Structure 1
Amino acid sequence: MKRVVYFLLCILVSSCSFFESKQKRTQELINEELRHIDWNSVDSYPFFYTCDEAATKAEQKSCFEETLITHFQETLYDFEFTLSNTESETVSVIFVIDTIGRIHVTDIEKDAWVLKQMPEFDGVITQSLKNLPKLAPALKRGIPVNTKYRIPVQLNTN
């Protein structure tokens, strides 16, 4: 009887360690895979539904950038901003496209004199981004991900 109890106890102890080592090995494989993922790039860029979803990554990026810049130019062309400085100024617009394809402006980096002379500038930029055509989020390994972008906007005073 003692041998049976001892045998069952050995099986129980060894089987628990067997599962534990299997779980540990699985976690090691996951960690190894995570170390090899390039978290600074996406597999496919956000794309506007006017762009070709089946296009190459480079073509997707190009279509995304062209659509975004064209929309910005058309929107800003409709507004008249007056600057009294003789130099041109670059304003950086930082925004995030979330996993649903919505755009959120996180910051607009500009000098104090731009804010003083054009207090409505932030609102115009934010509204311009909100009025972009519908877009799909970027994908990483087939999963929608947030992507952050910085667009330089050159303000010319000439």
Structure 2
Amino acid sequence: MMFKQMRRIKQQLSEKECIDILQRQKVGTLALAENGDYPYALPLNYVYYNGKIYFHCAITGHKIDIIKKQNKASFCIIDEDTVVPEKYTTFYRSVIVFGKAEIVEDDAEKMAALKELSYKYISKDDKAHLKEINGAWNRTCVFSLSIDYLSGKEAIELTQQK
């Protein structure tokens, strides 16, 4: 699949701006679809680490079933969403990632991803994290989203403020 160039190129965010948003925000929407089926989109916590996006979940479930059959996915993060009623517009900034989801089988990569998730959402206290991670290890799945294409866009009003 070729990814289409953004129509309003002046509003396109740089790769660095997109990465900054991925690192800063805490929730995004992952969209998956099996061939010919309805898309399945769900909000998830994530961490951007080593050039990939990592998620954790239970070892079974709908998203895991889909990933095993069809691993193409998209992931959307909203960074800014301010409705400006008097102007009939929204000041927005968002990032969309297209890539391939893959269940992490390597224990070292799985541990690193779980630690990074813990650092992002809880604290840098390795001792507490390791106890929790090790206690849930066998019932926790980690999957990654490799980035094939990344784009970001913002409202023209935000672009003009730069």
TM-score (norm 2): 0.24
Structure with a larger share of its residues in strand: 2
What TM-score comes out, normalization by structure 1 length? 0.24
Q: Of Structure 1 and Structure 2, which has the larger fraction of its residues in helix?
A: 1
Q: Which has the larger radius of gyration?
A: 1
